[in-house]
Structure 1
Amino acid sequence: MFEVLRYDWRIYRLLRRIAKQRVGMIMPGNVWVIEYAAPINEESMPMVQTCILRGWIEVLHQGVNHCRLNENDSLPENLQFKETQDVWRLTDAGWAAIYRAHQLSLLGLALSLFGVIVAL
């Protein structure tokens, strides 16, 4: 049970990281520099696929060239793109998952039912 809760917490943190991404600047050649990019690797890819399955994120651009910054946060020389990666965006359901709208609705319903029971 705790493994499921821990996995859901990690998905929630990934959603928040995707929500914080922003385009810092656009370089010549239509190269986007994305700030606060969510690290997508072999460990987090199943979580991304779970979010896509649940309808929380969707692919905005597919197969975008990708490279990492140097250790001192400078751009690599010659901007050699060795990898491709998708760019995702949150859907309305993803934002609702971040703000836990479903849980708040259930809490409001439970409190109103409790109020009705107490009133009777």
Structure 2
Amino acid sequence: MFSNVIFEFKMHRLLKKIARQRVTMILQPGNVPVIERTVDHDEVTKTLILTAQIRGWVEILHESMPTGQIDAKGEINPSQPFQSREDYWKLTDSGWAAIQRRHQLSLLSIAVALLGVYFAIGT
């Protein structure tokens, strides 16, 4: 039971990380965007992203985009700026609703309304 709660917590945190991404500049040649605050590209994150895609919360923004790292000084290796190619994702409207927890809020408001009707009829 707790593993499901932990998984959903990680999913919510990942969606918030995707929402915080931003493009800081465009590298030339090739029009490669430099994206700040990207999500990690490890196996756990990939499983979370694929689960979010199944649920309709994210979709691919760019497929096989060149990816590289900057060093501690904030510089890119000029001889080999890109080490791999990764997919980049964006949130859908359903993803934004999941971040804002609209579904849970709707269920809570229905429960409060039904409770109010129950007490109004009971008294």
Within-5 A mapping of 1:49-88: 49-88=50-89
Query: What is the TM-score of this pair, normalised by structure 1?
Result: 0.95
Deviation at 1:38, TM superposition (A): 1.1
Distance 2:49 2:90 in 1: 11
My pick for the range that moved more, 93-102 or 42-51, is 42-51
Residue 120 of structure 2 corresponds to residue 119 of structure 1: yes
Deviation at 1:82, TM superposition (A): 2.1
Deviation at 1:71, TM superposition (A): 2.5
Alignment match, 1:20? 20
Residue 4 of structure 2 corresponds to residue 4 of structure 1: yes
My pick for the range that moved more, 34-43 or 108-117, is 34-43
User: What are the Cα deviations for residues 43-85 of structure 1, in whole angstroms up to 9, with x where unaligned?
Assistant: 2110010000000000011111111111233222234322110
Distance 2:120 2:74 in 1: 62
Task: Return 5+ residue gaps in structure 1 as ranges.
Answer: none
Distance 1:76 1:105 in 2: 50
1:64 maps to amino acid: M
Number of equivalenced pairs:
120
Alignment match, 2:109? 108
- The structure with the largest alpha-carbon Rg is 2
2:13 maps to amino acid: R
The alignment yields a C-alpha RMSD, in angstroms, of: 1.0
SS of corresponding position for 1:8: helix
Distance 1:51 1:95 in 2: 12
1:11 maps to amino acid: M
Distance 2:46 2:64 in 1: 15
Query: What is the TM-score of this pair, normalised by structure 2?
Result: 0.93
Within-5 A mapping of 1:37-52: 37-52=38-53
2:98 maps to amino acid: A
